[in-house]
Copies of this chain bind each other. A is one copy, B any other.
Amino acid sequence: MAASMKNRLLIFKLRRLQVSNITRQIPKNRSVSTIPRAIVYDTYGDPKSVLRLQETEIPSVGDEEVKIQMMAAPINPADLNTIQGQYPFKPAMPAIGGFEGVGRIEEVGRQVKSLKPGDLVIPSINGLGTWRNQLVCKSAEVMTFPSGTPLLFACTIRVNMCTAYRMLKDFEELQPGDCVIQNAANSGAGQSVIQIAAARGIKTVNIVRDRPDFEDLSSYLQNLGATVVTTEAQLRQSEKILMQNLPKPKLALNAVGGKSCFTLLKHLQPTGTMVTYGGMSRQPVMVPTSSLIFSDVKVRGYWMSRWHEQNKDSEEAKCMINELCNWAKDEKVRPPKHKLHPIQDFKLAVENAMTDFQTEKQILRLDD
């Protein structure tokens, strides 16, 4: 399938986000906790302005459908970029925010064999629209995960954890003792990289921006399993000390772009790979010509949504979720540092998520 076709398909799937049955009045005769509500938007723009909490109507459950009580959903950069209209996903309007989360099955259609009421589920498609308390969808659009998995871990597994898992698996064959370098190391995906790498015995060199609370952040990331935590300036000044006893990184993970790539590439092993999954500096990815020609580095990009779309229902997808959840149960990886918000406080949650130097994941509680 041509990639443009794939993109069209992704966009098509996302139309599910459309809320055709939003009503503007919350009936007075229903208790607040059972009123179906969603965080919706009618137009692309600043998430702080365009989002609103709105009552929705929930259709009856079809033969192959399930009804879900959503429990929690995080606010990820990709959610915000979609609302800003800066993402390739262009949901039809009005749309419901949110790409991931965790919920509990309340009711299943007559043909549904794989799920039963009480099962905990996460999305298995990209465009579920998780920022709502109740939803009805096809049973194939959600999946279970190993019991005993912390719910806040399951709630944030599909974006950051899966991104980190795949980037550490799909580009370079990493063995215990190998090394990975990354920038934006305190981002959600960055923290996931640190933990998954540590669980696999892989060392990490983690670059963060200089900040007043650098020492606290450094301790926190080392506590997650980071081998080295540094700023770009420190790395330039104390390269030999910081990198001593470490092999040259085989893999570099870039969520910043611009000249930060020079730092990653300076340390990357010849023939290694730099994978870009974000562009926080809003600068293009910059690569010295000599790195490409003489060091034969490979420069790639990674987009979790595409992987999910292309590997939906695959054994590989199930293996990944199982392995991550089992690591979480063994406390080898943890739920993100987070702040919980009741659904009606979504504006504060969004505002926090858009604040610079943010290390906490903002998570909406949807079952209050």
Contact = CB atoms under 8 A, between A and B. Distances in A.
B306 A301 contact: no
Interface in A290-343: 290-303, 306
A292 B270 contact: no
A3 B295 contact: yes
Contact of A297 (B286, B294, B301): B301
A88 interface: yes
Nearest to A276: B292
A269 B1 CA distance: 13
Interface residues of A, number: 35
A271 B285 CA distance: 17
A287 interface: yes
A74 B276 CA distance: 40
Nearest to A10: B294
A2 B295 CA distance: 11
Given A287-B285, A289-B278, A3 B296 contact: yes
A4 B270 contact: yes
Interface of A: 2-4, 7, 88, 257, 262, 269-271, 276-279, 284-303, 306
26 contacts: A2-B269, A2-B270, A3-B295, A3-B296, A7-B294, A88-B294, A257-B289, A262-B284, A276-B293, A277-B293, A279-B289, A284-B288, A285-B286, A285-B287, A285-B299, A287-B287, A289-B301, A292-B300, A292-B301, A293-B303, A294-B301, A294-B303, A295-B301, A297-B301, A298-B298, A299-B300
